[in-house]
Amino acid sequence: MSTDVVDLGEKFDLFREHWSPKLVARLNDYEVKLVKVQGEFVWHSHEETDELFLVIEGTLTIQLRDRDVTLEPGQLFVVPRGVEHCPRADVEVKALLLEPAGVVNTGNAGGELTARVEPI
């Protein structure tokens, strides 16, 4: 992780895994992470925090229990705390995530997709 200028494109070139957010910047006790996703994640919620998604490349669908939210590049959405959601992408998506440090990607669901956040 750099404490200097962060070039999102360069950072995305440093990893290939899906559903494994990488830490690229800290802002107080918040973390900016980059993630590549493809396929469907798991339904989960974060009881303690909102979660921001900003799509950089591709089309991301954030399934909510009552509707789907579709994000194109340059669009962001904040999933409110406690709201169940399940991201899905037919084609690989590059996205920026923002949330407090320590948030686990699978929230209350856990399971094999739970990823440790590594700085890059």
Provide the binding-site residues for its own copies, judged by CB under 8 A.
Answer: 3-9, 24-28, 30, 32, 49-52, 56, 69-72, 74-78, 81, 98-100
Cβ 86 to its own copies shortest distance, Å: 17
Q: Characterize 26-54 residue by residue with b for buried, 16 or more Cβ atoms within 10 angstroms of its Cβ, and e for exposed.
A: eeeeebbbbbbbeeebbbbbbeebebbbb
Helical (H) or strand (E) element with 12: helix 8-12
Find the shortest distance in angstroms from Cβ 30 to its own copies.
7
Give SS3 for 8. helix
C-beta closer to its own copies: residue 27 or 91? 27
Nearer of residues 9 and 111 to its own copies, judged by Cβ: 9
CB 97 within 8 A of CB 37: no
Q: Min. distance of Cβ 43 from its own copies in angstroms?
A: 20
